[in-house]
Amino acid sequence: MAQLGENQYGKARVRLSRIMRQGYRHEFNEWTITVLLQGEFAAAFTAADNSSVLPTDTMKNTVYSIARDSHAATIEQFALEVGDYLLRSNPQVSGARVEVQEKSWQRMHTGTENDATTFRMGGPEVQTTAAAGSREKDWAIQSGIDGLTILKTTHSEFTGYIQNRHTTLKPSTDRIFGTCAKVQWDFEAMAPDFAGARQRITEAILRVFTAHHSMSVQHTLYEMAEAALEAAPEIARIKLAMPNLHHILADLSPFGQDNPNHIFVPIDEPHGYIEATVER
């Protein structure tokens, strides 16, 4: 006989833009929110009884309504506001997960100063957070960056690896190292300085990537994670996923030309994929 297992439902990809007007100076955010609820919903699945179901359209409207009065300065704070409201207002809900992604809009620099009301997209990456909590457990916050696209043209090697009859890759002591990284970190404390931690973690990751003489993606990944843990004592662990986006040296010999690490063919599929969690 079949029985219902773990289940949840909610509203995904709720798009929201917000202007915080502070006199002549504006702050601008573009967020994408996903809300997922767990609770007493078995009858909706097994008996076609919707009496305990909060419509997902209502969840969408709730997000906009909370945003109207919110003074949240970070996506973490906003996720907590939405999650707290849903738990408080719906006794049939036992747990909630609120995910928020933020696009990297940055203030436009014009001449000698940053403009008060004009913005440009800072990069392909998005800032992320997920707040998960229940009536029995405090909120757990996992934040991060998705799509952090970075590249260095030297100070990257790959040698000393296993070679067998299927190996065609040549050892390299000077190669391009490019990645589109996904970074996630778990906070120890309930109410840390979210914005400050994000800035310190990001700066540490980028600093190490820039300065580190890499012997492999694994080698640099670990150094980046270790630096992030040192920079942000309020996090318990950090996870990095770093695809190795290859740039293959072009063969110019048919044209009678040499190629001293000058012309490459960029490829993103297939790519190497390296992932690790580093903890205290």
Give helix 217-231 / helix 194-211 axis angle, nearest 10°. 150
Split at pLDDT 50, 70, 90, the class of 110 is: confident
* 14 close to 63: Cβ distance less than 8 angstroms: yes
Q: If DSSP codes are grouped into helix, strand and coil, which group holds residue 171?
A: coil
Phi-psi region at 84: left, alpha or beta (left = phi > 0; alpha = psi -120 to 50) = alpha
12-26: average pLDDT: 95
pLDDT confidence band for 120 (50 / 70 / 90): very high
- The candidate with the shortest Cα–Cα distance to 80, out of 33, 131, 38, is 131
Q: Which residues pair with 86 in a beta bridge?
A: none
Domain ranges of the chain: 9-138, 148-279
Give me the pLDDT at residue 149, please.
97
158 DSSP assignment: B
Query: Can you point out the beta strands (E) in 23-139?
Result: 25-39, 93-110, 113-134
Which of helix, strand or coil describes residue 2?
coil
* Catalytic residue IDs: 11, 56, 246
Closest CA to 72 of 144, 129, 120: 129
What are the Cα distances from residue 82, in Å, to 55, 100, 104?
15, 11, 22
Read off the DSSP letter of residue 135: S
Q: 9-138, what's its fold?
A: Urate Oxidase (3.10.270)
H/E run at residue 60: helix 56-69
- Residue corresponding to tokens 């997922």: 36
Tell which phi-psi region holds residue 207, choosing left (phi > 0), alpha (psi between -120 and 50) or beta.
Answer: alpha
Share of the chain above pLDDT 90, in %: 94
Distance CA 23, CA 247 (A): 48
Per CATH, which fold does 148-279 belong to?
Urate Oxidase (3.10.270)
Query: Which residue's structure tokens are 């990284």?
Result: 181
pLDDT value of position 111: 81
What are the tens digits of pLDDT across the range 172-205? 999 999 999 999 999 997 768 999 999 999 999 9
When computed from its CA atoms, the radius of gyration of the chain, rounded to whole angstroms, is 23
Return the pLDDT at 191. Answer: 67
